[in-house]
Amino acid sequence: MKKHKIIILGIAAFLLMSLYACKGDGGSPEPPSFESGRLTITFDYEKQSGMASNQFAVWIEDMEGNYIKTLYATKYTANGGYKDRPDSIALWVEKSGLASMQKSEVDAIAGPTPKAGNLSYSWNLTDASGNAVLPGEYKFYVEGTLRWKNCVIYSGTIKIGGEAAEVTADVAFAYEASEGYDALTGDSPENSMIGAVTAKFEPNGGE
């Protein structure tokens, strides 16, 4: 009798193990993920003379327009300059929720105005809280303030996860940004500050 109990318990344990194994294969699928990767946004930058230029920001959104993360923003605007100069990279200020950011959050994204040259800003595929995002399509933006109220905005869509990809952003300009960004057009004002913007996704960190 004792031997029969041991056999029955053994069969029950085997069935339970089989059930869990099947559940792992055919149960609710886990969200898709990737081991690692990197998105790099690159453009030429020419520092401008005079006031009310040389402010720009680089950030990521999802396809529904939800803010994901800022890769870089010039220190003057990020540290409160937008209050005195509300036209300074105004779209980024609004989308990022800058007014409600903690100082530590601002310090993590803000930097001094760089020297002229080819600039690159990398995204490690995490959101503002440090959580990994899911593979899929994302929007990237580079916004710059030109001559007080004029602005330039580059935007593009790129797929992360899977194969390597590279895209060139579209560009739009606005005169008198305070009149509303719905007035953005493809007509170019004087814009020697930010050159063509490209974004490149490299799986596995580009290794």
- Once rounded to an integer, what is the mean pLDDT over residues 159-181? 78
pLDDT at 31 over 50: no
The full set of domain ranges for the chain reads 1-30, 37-206
Residue 148's pLDDT band, with cuts at 50, 70 and 90, is confident
pLDDT more than 90, % of the chain: 60
The confidence band for 146, taking pLDDT boundaries of 50, 70 and 90, is confident
pLDDT above 50: residue 14: no
Q: Per-residue pLDDT averaged across 188-203, rounded?
A: 85
Q: What is the pLDDT of residue 204?
A: 80
pTM over 0.95? The answer is: no
Q: Which CATH architecture has domain 37-206?
A: Sandwich (2.60)
pLDDT in the model for residue 108: 95
CA angle 124–87–141, rounded 5-degree value? 25
Q: Supply the DSSP string of 15-58, one letter for each residue.
A: HHHHHHHHHHHHSSPPPP--S-EEEEEEEEE-PPSSSS-SEEEE
Nearest Cα neighbor of 56 from 118, 176, 146, 191 is: 146
